[in-house]
Amino acid sequence: MALDFRLSEEHLAVRESVRRLCREEVAPLVNDAEENEVFPRELFRLWGRLGLIGARYPADDGGAGLDKVADCIIREEMSAVCQGFASSWSAHSHLGIWPIWKAGTAAQKLRYFVPALAGEKIAGFGLSEPDGGSNVRALKTRATRVPGGWRLNGSKLYITNSPIADFVLIAARTRDELSIDAISLFIVEGNSPGFAVSRLKKEGIRSSETGLIHLDDVFVPDHLLLGEREGTYPLILESLSENRVGVAANSLGLARAALEASVAYAGQRLVGGKRIGDYQAVAHRLADMAADIEAARWLVYYGAWCVDQGQLTPDLAARVKLVASETAVRASESAIRIFGGAGIMREYPVGRIHRDALVYVIGEGTSDIQRNLIARGLGFKP
């Protein structure tokens, strides 16, 4: 089969549509949201009306029926304008509701997945804990069976959307042993007694609201155990692998935004009567950024293609995420250096882009976790 690196007409139409939306309706909201660290909730309803939340889901389930390549195009365009907004969209559209679509009962889908697709309910995903970090199997949040349901106790840290979520999927241990059926997912509504969220202030993705969740004897009825069955740990791993390709596309959008801002600035900033882009030191920095980003772009979209072909492996997802996130950090740092003093002024976007890029060498599995996964794919056990 011949190689074809061109996007389809449908993909190009998606890119143009989302790019226009971001430019005309999303970009004007960015500065206030970033300064106030408050997410504009109306964006969820807008995304719902336009089918962006359901882009990745089948038409039979209320989605747009698009593929992973289209999903990554949407992520890249959103992130090029505001990563904070893109992070909240991602936590909602994938992590928060994908497991419900994949494994939920018909009643769970009707009550949570359907309104979430419309942007009428906001979702979150509670996995990371204060003591566990990226080690999913070390989580301590405990679900204890009681008559009619379960009691959840524990805490979840750095949970995107939790301060504004109508419901959060909570991963909890239902057994002591480290077996694949010892960890399950529960749908916990934000107004449940004993469920409390402390808002966190962040350096990056400031417009994406993040919190520390406290679970103090929270009762969850049996019908809100995801799929009404224990042992959804493999589903968590599957969700994380695909989402690593997704957040790699987010990182690509950040890197692209850093390059575009740098090229524009280097073309209009004059020093000694010359554009700074005409000085070799700056020109070479721009050239390195462009080359790195182009390499990352094709790895990201190859990863998306592998998702669509059912060929994504954990070590490939790790490669995609590692390369794209580290590229975004390098590109955004280079952008600040090109801007000089202006690079740390808030009237320019590159400082924000760099802060946001740093999120993705940590979130969704740190770069070192990705390196561990890659090494295991090579036959080693770090």
**Sequence-ordered list of residues with C-beta below 8 angstroms from that of 333, at least 6 positions apart, any chain:** 354
Examine the residue annotation and report whether 10 is marked as an active-site residue of this protein: no
205 C-beta neighbours (distance < 10 Å), count: 28
91 C-beta neighbours (distance < 10 Å), count: 24
CA–CA separation, 327 and 262 (whole Å): 15
DSSP notation for 234-254? HHHHHHHHHHHHHHHHHHHHH
382 burial type by CB count under 10 A (0-12 exposed, 13-18 middle, 19+ buried):
exposed
CA–CA separation, 163 and 21 (whole Å): 26
β 123-126/167-173 pair status:
parallel
Burial 123-159 (b: 16+ CB within 10 A, else e): bbbbbbbeebebebeebebbbeeeeebbbbbbbbbbb
Report which of 150, 232, 229, 225 is spatially closest to residue 187, judged by C-alpha positions: 225
**Sequence-ordered list of residues with C-beta below 8 angstroms from that of 244, at least 6 positions apart, any chain:** 317, 318, 320, 321, 364, 365, 370
The helices-and-strands tally (H runs, E runs) of the chain is 13, 9
16 C-beta neighbours (distance < 10 Å), count: 12
By three-state DSSP, how is residue 118 classified? Answer: coil
Tell me how far apart the terminal alpha carbons of the chain are, to the nearest angstrom.
37
What are the residue numbers of the active site?
364
